[in-house]
Every structure is written in C-alpha cells, then in structure tokens.
Structure 1
Amino acid sequence: MEEVLADLRIEEEQESGEVELWEIEQEENPTEQSSNFCLVVCFLTATVINFQSMRTVMANLWHPLGGVTITDIEEKRILFRLYCEVDRDRVVKGSPYTFNNHLLIFSILKEEDNPLEVPLNHAEFWVQIHNLPSSLYSKAIARQFGDFIGSFVDYDTKAITIGLQNFMRIKVQVDV
C-alpha cells in the first residue's frame, strides 16, 4: 500500500484545458525501514512448535503498543517484526522467554543481516549469587562473576539498595 501511495498523483483538469498536477513524494523515514525492530527467533527443541498457538501466546505476553507481525520462515526460524523501538527494547530486556517449556532464542536483526544466516546460539539469563559478604556487592565483582559464567550483560542494583534481598542478581549471556 505504501508503494501505491508513494506514486500517487492527483490531476485536475481546469476549464481552460490546463492540467494541474500534484505529486506526493514519499519521505524517507529511517524508522520505517523493513528490518528495524525485527527479531529472528528459534526455539531450543527438536520437536515442532504449534505456530498458531505460539503466535497468539507471544503476542499476548508481549502485548506491544505498536503491534507485532510474526512470520514463519525457513529452518525453524520465525521473524518477529515490532513496530517501535520501545516495544523491541522491552521484549529484549524481559528475556528469557519460553513456550511450552522450550527456550526462545533470538537475535536482533540488523539491516544488512539475512534472517536465515543470523547465529542463534546465545541466550540471556538472570543469575542469583548467594552468601556473599556485603562488601562484595559491586558492579566490578558482578562483572567478574558474569564473565566466569558466560558474558556479563547487566547488574541489578535495585534489590541491593532497598536491602530486601541477600543475593546479587546479574544477567549473563550463555552459549546454548
């Protein structure tokens, strides 16, 4: 539809026989490019996923403000197209996800990437580290633990500053 509207011309013939022509040019908007806010997804399973069920469950779970289009592509890969950056960031930050106890592994699709060739072999997990002396609750120590487990991603400071929990919570990326 956008292609049709991009070439839209309105012609109006006046009484004098002249034709007045209005051209509507499509503006280039980088936020509307085809692969922005897309995720390539696969599930860590040898069995077949019920696509219709998964699509309904994931759309209801994420409930993106701008909507989501979910397309089944080859080789057990699925393309999730979100329509705004806020939705994509919220989905990425909320990981990990599962469907029927199968881990969802995803990668953010870049403009130059082919969805069939994007590596899908890492997942992010929140890890709790217990029985640490209070003097070791720091981002530097969290980074060391994270890099030991996999690759350090994030450190949750909210629980520690409130004083409600007696463990360190870090997000790590693990090769699955």
Structure 2
Amino acid sequence: MSNIWNPKGFITGNVVDARDNIFVFRFKEKKDKLRVIDGQPWHFDKFIWCFNEPIADGKLVEIPLYNLLLWAEIYDLPLMGRNNEGNIRKPGTQLCQFVCADQTLLPELERGIRIRVMREVRKLLKNSICSRMRDGRIIEFDVKYERLPTFCYGCGVLGHGEKNYEDGPFANEDL
C-alpha cells in the first residue's frame, strides 16, 4: 500500500483475519494516516476498503468496518442559498451522515454542490434525492459519487455492476 498512499514515514501492515479481510495498518506519521483516511474511498482490485480507528478495550474483529467516507455531488440545486451550510446539510443528510461541504468550489458558478458524507456500505446508495422548495414544489436532484469501485446505478449496490436485470438477481423487480 505504500506505493499507493505514498507516505512520508513508513507503514506496517498485518493480516488480522484473512477470511474476513481484516487488516491493521500502523503509520509512523500521523499526517500520513490522516491523509489516507481523508483520501477515501480507497479500493483495491475492485473491492472497497473501509477504515476505522481501533477501540481501546475492544477486539479487532469487533471494529465496525462498514462505514465509508465519500464525496457526493448533488446537481442542479437552486442557486439561492447554496452558500448557506443549512441548505447544503439538508440534502446531505438525505443521503446519509453529512460531514462537510467542499469549500473550494464556488457554488454560484458550479452546476452542483460537492459534499463529504459518511455512508454505510451495506445500504443502497441513492442516485437522486427530493427536496421541497419554499413554494411547495417537490424537486428531484441527481446525485453522483466520486471514485466508487464497482457500483450498480440500477439498484444502488456496491460490489456489482449489473446492466441487464432480465436474467440477473433483480429480475422481475421494480427498480
């Protein structure tokens, strides 16, 4: 992983449970660890990697490894209020747990807003959200996620990329 993460210090890695694909990484430099965590999502060979801090008095195999930091873009939100964090937080919480908004973009010039969210990978990813406007209208907004591994836009599942459900696992189901 050193070739991918390019740390300033060294990284050691140990396999804790090969059946459950649990690994422990130790970073010499705290900045390296923060950069790896902030750089999520990471994937290797089309498998997503979930990170979490160890619990001081818990077992390594009990650490919840199903939450993932993602960047999501929500498109075509009204221009009014894009600089207001409350207006950005509301659609973010519809997706999952809102973490922060990307402050490097100029929301009034972009097509959408970019937000950081914490998402449980066992749940379906939404490709759109709905929001009620001040005038009472309900409008649907498209959502795109950055740097996902294999992902099915048909059903929202991470880990497969079905394109045709006639013979697949979701045949005869309304998506």
TM over 0.5: yes
Task: Indicate the residue corresponding to 1:155 in structure 2.
Answer: 101
| Alpha-carbon distance in structure 1 between the residues aligned to 2:115 and 2:49 | 20
2:16 aligned with 1:63: no
Secondary structure of the structure 1 residue equivalent to 2:64: coil
Does residue 75 of structure 2 align to residue 130 of structure 1? yes
Percent identity reads 27
Trace 1:82-93 onto structure 2 (pairs within 5 A).
82-93=27-38
Q: What is the distance in 2 between the residues matched to 1:139 and 1:69?
A: 39
Deviations 1:91-111 (A, max 9, x none): 111100110111111112243
Deviations 1:74-133 (A, max 9, x none): 132000111121111111111001101111111122433421110111111111011112
Mapping for residues 46-125 of structure 1, pairs under 5 Å:
58-74=1-17, 75-125=20-70
The amino acid across from 1:87 in the alignment is D
Going from structure 1 to structure 2, the CA distance change for 1:66 and 1:145 (only over 3 Å counts) comes to same
Name whichever structure is richer in helix by fraction: 1
CA shift, 1:134, in A, is 1.6
| Runs of 4+ with deviation above 2 angstroms | 110-114, 163-166
Gaps of 5+ in 1: 1-57
1:160 and 1:88 mapped to 2: Cα distance?
29
Where do 5+ consecutive residues of structure 2 fail to align?
122-175
Could you give the per-residue CA deviations for residues 10-42 of structure 1, whole angstroms, max 9, x where no partner exists?
Answer: xxxxxxxxxxxxxxxxxxxxxxxxxxxxxxxxx
For 1:110 and 1:83, the matched residues in 2 are separated by 19
Amino acid at match of 1:145: P
CA apart distance, 1:174: 1.1
Q: 1: CA distance between counterparts of 2:2 and 2:52?
A: 18
SS in 2 for 1:87: helix
SS in structure 2 at match of 1:91: helix
- TM-score, scaled relative to structure 1: 0.62
Cα drift, residue 164 of structure 1: 5.4
* Bigger CA radius of gyration: 1
Instruction: Give the residue type in structure 1 aligned to 2:11.
Output: V
TM-score by length of 2: 0.62
Amino acid at match of 2:5: W
CA contact (8 A) 2:69 2:116 kept: yes
